[in-house]
Amino acid sequence: MTTPAPSPALASFERMLAAGRDGALLRFSLGNEYLKAGDAERAATHLAQAVALDPRYTAAWKLYGKALAAAGREADALNAWKQGIEVARAHGDKQAEKEMTVFARRVERAAEGRATPAPPAPTDPTATG
């Protein structure tokens, strides 16, 4: 199995990072490109760095949660979105707050569905035991 070649944008962003031009926007861009390329774990790594560099970057929090969810890390995604919701609320970013709230609710509902035990099987009154 061969790995697809990186997109020109991804290659350019990686060169910028290698040249020492690190920053929240560059990490966000790298995370976005890796997510598009299907590498959710690598995307999450860059997006974690983006929010570490700029904890007020609501778009990075939103995409960070998406990358974590795509990597199968739902609990981490939920945590990222909850932090992002607080950041968005604190800075009046209503749209980001609404979007992350929707994403978080979906994860919570899915988790509730997995935690709900199956109903007991009906008993057959004609069966002898």
Q: How far apart (Å, rounded) are the C-alpha atoms in residues 64 and 62?
A: 5
Q: How confident is the model at residue 127 (pLDDT cuts 50, 70, 90)?
A: low
pLDDT of residue 89: 97
For residue 1, pLDDT beyond 50: no
Cβ atoms of 31 and 64 within 8 Å: the answer is yes
User: What percent of the chain is modeled with pLDDT above 70?
Assistant: 84
Q: What are 116's two structure tokens?
A: 């709900």
Question: What's the pTM value of the predicted model, to 2 decimals?
Answer: 0.82
Q: How confident is the model at residue 110 (pLDDT cuts 50, 70, 90)?
A: confident
Task: Single out the residue of 53, 57, 79, 56 nearest to residue 68, CA to CA.
Answer: 79
Contacts of residue 96, defined as CB under 8 A and 6 or more positions apart, other chains included, come to 58, 59, 61, 62, 84, 88
pLDDT of residue 125: 55
Q: How far apart (Å, rounded) are the C-alpha atoms in residues 51 and 64?
A: 8
Q: How far apart (Å, rounded) are the C-alpha atoms in residues 91 and 72?
A: 29
Q: What are 25's two structure tokens?
A: 């926007």
Give pLDDT tens digits for 22-62.
999 999 999 999 999 999 999 999 999 999 999 999 999 99
Cβ atoms of 93 and 115 within 8 Å: the answer is no
